[in-house]
Amino acid sequence: MSLQTFKACFVCKAEFSELNLAAYVTGGCMVDMQVMRNGTKVVRSFKPDFILVRQHAYSMALGEDYRSLVIGLQYGGLPAVNSLYSVYNFCSKPWVFSQLIKIFHSLGPEKFPLVEQTFFPNHKPMLTAPHFPVVVKLGHAHAGMGKIKVENQHDYQDVTSMVAMAKTYATTEAFIDSKYDIRIQKIGSNYKAYMRTSISGNWKANTGSAMLEQVAMTERYRLWVDSCSEMFGGLDICAVKAVHSKDGRDYIIEVMDSSMPLIGEHVEEDKQLMADLVISKMSQLLMPGGTVPSPLRPWAPQTKPAKSPGQAQLGPPLGQPQPRPPTQGGPRPAQSPQPPRSGSPSQQRLSPQGQQPLSPQSGSPQQRSPGSPQLSRASGGSSPNQAPKSSAPLTSQPRPPVQGRSASQQGEEAKKPASPHPHLNKSQSLTNSLSTSDTSQRGTPSEDEAKAETIRNLRKSFASLFSD
């Protein structure tokens, strides 16, 4: 995606109910969105480049099932936060709980205290519970819906009949007399932990009045959310819900994905963190070559294949970031000294002491000022990882000046005519051509400023979007 296209991008906000789409094998995904224009509902068609999913794709309680749209977006190959693969997997809570069971068996009950739960595919196996009270959860729902507290066997049989009418699966877990609820959330690399205490006395802490406060982020909490963020290929945004019982024990009951609600006093900060996360992902995926460093997190330089000894390399050694070009008319920054470069016989000639290559014009070594760019190093032709070779000259040529000789001796040698050598002429022309190409390939400050302005515009768009 070119920089010009990246400048012209826009942000659209819509619910699943307002969307429709068509996905193609080679054409990507075309989305139709219903918008209001002058009081009239019209359809706007566009081809999205990135998606931030902040809505549940499936809920039995509300009768909403948008899994087909998630399939279409995945079919079109659209990148998203969280990934569309994980969004589809989160459309079934028992399916997600099975991933928590794997973590439980991996870390053990001490590090990952998962609540005891039983799954029933239908009402037929639901004869009785091992102990009461229990909490029965019907199907896939959110925000405390579809959850029933059962005190005895008679009530349990009544709930079983409701499961038969619902024609869905159900789970049962032991009721925990909680002191408060715990929520640990992770947005990118930012962590927060909250404690919620019910004031109204309801056994559901998210129902009625409750007091919410932020607590310290412990290593135990960090282990929980980091372990859960690795499921389904990785979750950039997730949260773990747990219950702290009155006997002082913790029980993990659920994990949420990017559709989690934001709570606490730092809602605006969390929105900005999500916007920065999206911009960072877009910068990595949609900019040319995918190698543009993000301003939000450290950039890991990509490794490139090493060049052969006969090839010339422009710019700094591999694995180091490109230096920012100096402003026009300003002083050029001094670069760190590079190891001598050894190349093919047709490109350079070394002195017997392993010094710098001789200049084609005279028998003295080339002098370089400390602040001058190292453009001539391309004539060496070797990779920076190779050590300089201290071998004899390739052809019989005048010896280079030795340190300590008098000026008269050096002048007499300079007057002697240097024997013409075709290799030296090739080295000089190669040096001149590479110097010209290196200068032409350097970027201008205006390109960097344009990219920075693009990132700032996207941040403003996301900030205004979340504020609405």
Please give the span between the terminal C-alpha atoms of the chain, in angstroms, as a whole number: 29
* E strand intervals along 162-273: 170-174, 178-187, 190-198, 210-215, 237-245, 250-256
pLDDT reading at 123 higher than 70: yes
Cβ-based neighbours of 263, under 8 Å, separated by 6 or more: 183, 194, 196, 212
How far apart, in whole angstroms, are the C-alpha atoms of residue 368 and residue 373? Answer: 9
Which token pair is 410?
């050096």
Residues of the chain with CATH 3.40.50.20: 16-84
Residues 182-201: what's their mean pLDDT?
Answer: 94
Residues 297-312: what's their mean pLDDT?
Answer: 42
pTM: 0.62
Per-residue model confidence as pLDDT tens digits over 53-105: 999 999 988 889 999 999 999 999 999 999 999 999 999 999 999 999 999 99
Residues of the chain with CATH 3.30.1490.20: 117-175
Q: Which amino acid appears at position 354 of this protein?
A: G
Q: Which range among 21-30, 36-45, 336-345, 443-452 shows the weakest confidence by mean pLDDT? A: 336-345
Residues of the chain with CATH 3.30.470.20: 92-115+176-274
Per-residue model confidence as pLDDT tens digits over 320-360: 444 444 444 444 544 444 544 444 444 444 444 444 444 44
pLDDT reading at 402 higher than 80: no
CATH tag for 92-115+176-274 (out of 3.30.2030.30, 3.30.470.20, 3.40.50.20, 3.90.79.10):
3.30.470.20
**CATH fold of 117-175:** Dna Ligase; domain 1 (3.30.1490)
pLDDT at 256: 97
pLDDT at 36: 84
With pLDDT > 70 as the criterion, what percentage of the chain qualifies?
63
Q: Which CATH architecture has domain 16-84?
A: 3-Layer(aba) Sandwich (3.40)
